[in-house]
């Protein structure tokens, strides 16, 4: 019998820690719903103690999502563990608390300033505290790949004896190489008492581009859970991409014949696109499995081979991961019911008010272009649910620009019954629109990244703008906007970033968040 490899998805926790990738409550919920359809085994829904917003998101996911185990992250600190336990409690028997503590010498000496004996004591106390709240406890010795193997074995053994049901071995800084990492897993299996009483997990980062390779090497050495994210997003160079791991196991079943996953692979592309939209992180065209070029063939020799026999140059069927499943597009004549049914088919769960808001934008777009495709609808949904309560909305935009005039933008913003309007010149139409918004709201953002892309094909394609701004303090805020007019899309994206910044400032202090996220290097 083949062994199941448990897929632990941390897109909503580690993935969201990527600079500029933070998601609001609704965006996290949509991602969690899609992860449920993808059929991941575990969803690490967040770091509950970090803020009221994170706690509420984890609690809502634990309440609504059915099927996957719902995990909350916690440091080996009573406050963290209690918050995680309360947040995941609605999941019942599917609740997991994931506690972590750094173990490598460099972390013990310079970050924690604690002796080895203190690390083991904290491990035992924290696992026991978590175990008193949930039956499923995962423990991670942070920076395990740089921890002395003998001491790592002691910590893992202590965690299991205290009640940990999963022990995760993180390659926190992406330092490991496959042969060495696999050997470390084998060492633990041979030297930790009662190791068979817990599932061995691995959590690999991609700093040297080997996160997927290290994860698969660990599985061959005895690990049975792999932690990763959709599209491989995450801190620094990212995490192991779960779509690559899953398809490697499935495609190379001749090599990985002892293993399987229960992922619904036909949901992979849909998951990739949703996470990209919700996080604002664009997927590279050359990205394996989900990139636009993953199944493109430009060479004449390759094209000839594909036409004669697909397997000559394609080792996977694109349909197996969800490519090529686009439905017939809607038009401006399509009604609200038809649009709502399509949104439901695409997996979105929206209130009547949200459907009506999107329908207004749908009709606007439908008047400007012949067809409204599924990707266009996704962009409109993202444009809608990324707006938080008490957000400023773009009510009016007029731009004057040309080679012989100074670009000037007039913008009117609306929030409830309140409207504000102002104008500003700029270094181009987009810059002028953004400066007008700054003048209205008496603030200033520094544009760090700006990307514009066509959502669908054709001259009338919907343009989608993704940008990142720094409003002070070095924290990057993502903004997203869509329109058939790129200048309007840019203004919407910038206003979206401004609204996110205002909302996050009201939720928690950036200083507190940095403190927690720097600690969460699992």
**What is the reported pLDDT for 474?**
75
Question: Which pLDDT band, with edges at 50, 70 and 90, does 300 fall under?
Answer: low
Looking at every residue in the chain, the average pLDDT score rounds to 90
* SS3 call for 22: coil
**What is the reported pLDDT for 298?**
44
Reported in sequence order, the residue ranges of 11-151 that DSSP labels E, i.e. its strands, are: 42-46, 69-75, 95-102, 136-142
Task: Give the global pTM.
Answer: 0.88
**What is the reported pLDDT for 180?**
97
Contacts of 127 (CB under 8 A, 6+ apart): 99, 137, 139, 159, 162, 163, 164
For helices 116-131 and 149-162, the axis angle rounded to 10 degrees is 30
Q: What is the mean pLDDT of residues 87-96?
A: 98
pLDDT in tens, 121-137: 999 999 999 999 999 99
pLDDT in tens, 133-168: 999 999 999 999 999 999 999 999 999 999 999 999
**What is the reported pLDDT for 299?**
47
- Long-range interactions of 242-246: CB distance < 8 A, separation 24+: 242/7, 242/9, 242/40, 243/268, 243/271, 243/272, 243/288, 243/289, 243/290, 243/321, 244/212, 244/288, 244/289, 245/5, 245/7, 245/212, 245/215, 245/216, 246/7
CA distance 253 to 246: 11
* SS3 call for 507: helix
Q: What is the mean pLDDT of residues 398-422?
A: 94
Using the predicted structure, report yes or no on whether residue 447 has a pLDDT greater than 60: yes
**Domains of the chain, each with CATH number or no CATH:** 3-288 (3.20.20.70), 326-509 (3.30.160.270)
Structure tokens at 230: 């959709």
Length of the chain: 522
R_g of the chain, CA atoms, integer Å? 24
Using the predicted structure, report yes or no on whether residue 514 has a pLDDT greater than 60: no
Question: Which pLDDT band, with edges at 50, 70 and 90, does 17 fall under?
Answer: confident
Helices (H) and strands (E) in the chain, counts: 17, 16
Using the predicted structure, report yes or no on whether residue 309 has a pLDDT greater than 80: no
Q: Which element (helix H / strand E) includes 344?
A: helix 336-345
Greater confidence (103 vs 279) lies with 103
Q: Residues 228, 287, 311, 210: is their CA dihedral positive or negative?
A: negative
Summarize the chain as % helix, strand, coil (round to 5). 45, 20, 35
Using the predicted structure, report yes or no on whether residue 504 has a pLDDT greater than 80: no
CA distance 97 to 204: 20
**What is the reported pLDDT for 304?**
54
pLDDT in tens, 313-365: 678 999 999 987 556 688 888 899 999 998 988 888 888 988 998 999 899 88
Residue 179 CB neighbour total at 10 angstroms: 12
Q: What is the mean pLDDT of residues 416-420?
A: 93
Using the predicted structure, report yes or no on whether residue 425 has a pLDDT greater than 50: yes
**What is the reported pLDDT for 302?**
47
Q: What is the mean pLDDT of residues 367-371?
A: 84
Using the predicted structure, report yes or no on whether residue 60 has a pLDDT greater than 50: yes
**What is the reported pLDDT for 347?**
83
> Which range has the worst mean pLDDT, 233-242, 288-297, 426-435?
288-297
Q: Are 8 and 42 in contact (CB under 8 A)?
A: yes
Greater confidence (374 vs 40) lies with 40
pLDDT in tens, 393-404: 999 999 999 988
**What is the reported pLDDT for 116?**
95
Using the predicted structure, report yes or no on whether residue 307 has a pLDDT greater than 60: no
> Which range has the worst mean pLDDT, 169-178, 266-275, 319-328?
319-328
Using the predicted structure, report yes or no on whether residue 54 has a pLDDT greater than 80: yes
């Amino acid at each position: 019998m083949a062994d199941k490899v448990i897929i632990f998805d941390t897109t909503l926790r580690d993935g969201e820690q990527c600079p500029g990738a933070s998601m609001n409550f609704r965006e996290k919920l949509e991602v969690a719903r899609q992860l449920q359809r993808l059929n991941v085994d575990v969803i690490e829904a967040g770091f509950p103690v970090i803020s009221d917003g994170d706690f509420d998101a984890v609690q809502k996911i634990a309440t609504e999502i059915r099927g996957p185990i719902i995990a909350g992250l916690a440091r080996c600190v009573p406050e963290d563990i209690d918050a995680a336990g309360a947040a995941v409690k609605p999941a019942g028997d599917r609740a997991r608390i994931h506690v972590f503590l750094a173990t490598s010498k460099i972390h013990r000496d310079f970050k924690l300033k604690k002796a080895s004996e203190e690390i083991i004591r904290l491990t035992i106390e924290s696992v026991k505290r978590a175990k008193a709240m949930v039956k499923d406890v995962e423990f991670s010795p942070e920076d395990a790949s740089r921890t002395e193997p003998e001491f790592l074995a002691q910590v893992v053994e202590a965690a299991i004896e205290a009640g940990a049901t999963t022990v995760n071995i993180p390659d926190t800084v992406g330092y490991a190489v496959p042969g060495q990492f696999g050997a470390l897993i084998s060492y633990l299996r041979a030297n930790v008492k009662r190791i068979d009483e817990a599932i061995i997990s691995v959590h690999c980062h991609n700093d040297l581009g080997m996160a997927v390779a290290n994860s698969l090497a660990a599985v061959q050495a005895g690990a049975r859970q792999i932690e990763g994210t959709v599209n491989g997003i995450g801190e620094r160079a990212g995490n192991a991409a779960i779509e690559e791991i899953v398809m490697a196991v499935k495609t190379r079943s001749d090599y990985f014949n002892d293993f399987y996953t229960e992922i619904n692979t036909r949901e992979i592309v849909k998951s990739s696109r949703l996470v990209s939209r919700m996080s604002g992180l664009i997927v590279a065209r050359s990205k394996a499995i989900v990139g636009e070029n993953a199944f493109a063939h430009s060479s004449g020799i390759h094209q000839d081979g594909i036409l004669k026999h697909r397997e000559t140059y394609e080792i996977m069927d694109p349909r197996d991961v969800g490519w090529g499943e686009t439905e017939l597009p809607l038009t401006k004549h399509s009604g609200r019911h038809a649009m709502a049914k399509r949104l439901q088919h695409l997996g979105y769960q929206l209130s009547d008010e949200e459907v009506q808001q999107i329908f207004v934008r749908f009709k606007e777009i439908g008047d400007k272009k012949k067809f409204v495709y599924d990707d266009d609808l996704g962009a409109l949904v993202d444009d809608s649910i990324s707006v938080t309560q008490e957000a400023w909305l773009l009510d009016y935009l007029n731009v004057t620009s040309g080679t012989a005039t100074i670009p000037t933008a007039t913008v009117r913003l609306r929030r409830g019954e309140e409207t504000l309007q102002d104008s500003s010149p700029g270094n181009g139409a987009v810059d002028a629109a953004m400066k007008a918004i700054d003048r209205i709201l008496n603030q200033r953002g520094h544009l760090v990244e700006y990307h514009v892309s066509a959502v669908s094909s054709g001259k009338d394609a919907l343009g989608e703008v993704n940008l990142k701004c720094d409003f002070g303090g070095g924290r990057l805020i993502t903004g997203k906007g869509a329109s058939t007019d790129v200048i309007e899309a840019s203004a919407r994206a910038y206003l979206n970033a401004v609204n996110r910044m205002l909302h996050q400032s009201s939720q928690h202090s950036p200083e507190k968040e940095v403190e927690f996220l720097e600690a969460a290097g699992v």
